[in-house]
């Protein structure tokens, strides 16, 4: 599988409310072409956005971003509202661990927009 050398974006579904989803697992399931297995779950930078227009019932509530699968709406790294984004840059090359990022929406049938670069 080839690595991305230009920015790539995906809209990833968050079907259930208050359910923690792995960004890496979502990208593996929904990225075409697939994420490079050669680089593993790493990227140079990633931006997570809670898009306002995409949700089936319109985005409402919050998107929580964390580094643990046990994240809750009281224990998280960042909390954003619809139309906001959260960038995570790497100081080196491909040091952001996608398998260490988790997202959760507090309402059902929502999406997270992900932009990333693997080099």
Residue 27: helix, strand or coil by DSSP?
helix
Q: What is the CATH number of domain 8-117?
A: 2.60.120
41: exposed, middle or buried (Cβ count in 10 Å: 0-12, 13-18, 19+): buried
Residue 25: which H helix or E strand, with range?
Answer: helix 23-30
75-102 tens-digit pLDDT: 999 999 988 999 998 877 768 888 899 9
Rounded to two decimals, the pTM is: 0.84
* Predicted pLDDT at 38: 62
What the block records as the tokens of 76 is: 């998280």
Give the model confidence (pLDDT) of 30-68 as tens digits. Answer: 876 666 666 678 888 899 999 876 544 555 789 999 998
Residue 26 backbone dihedrals phi, psi, to 5 degrees? -65, -45
- Distance between CA 68 and CA 71 in Å, rounded? 5
């Amino acid at each position: 599988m080839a690595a991305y050398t230009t920015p790539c974006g995906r809209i990833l579904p968050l079907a259930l409310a208050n359910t923690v989803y792995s960004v890496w697992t979502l990208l593996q399931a929904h990225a075409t072409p697939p994420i490079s297995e050669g680089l593993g779950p790493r990227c140079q930078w990633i931006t997570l956005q809670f898009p306002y227009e995409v949700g089936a019932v319109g985005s409402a509530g919050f998107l929580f971003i964390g580094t643990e699968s046990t994240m809750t709406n009281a224990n998280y790294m960042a909390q954003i509202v619809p139309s906001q984004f959260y960038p995570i840059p790497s100081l080196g090359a491909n040091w952001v661990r996608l398998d260490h990022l988790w997202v959760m929406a507090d309402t059902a049938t929502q999406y997270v927009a992900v932009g990333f670069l693997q080099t």
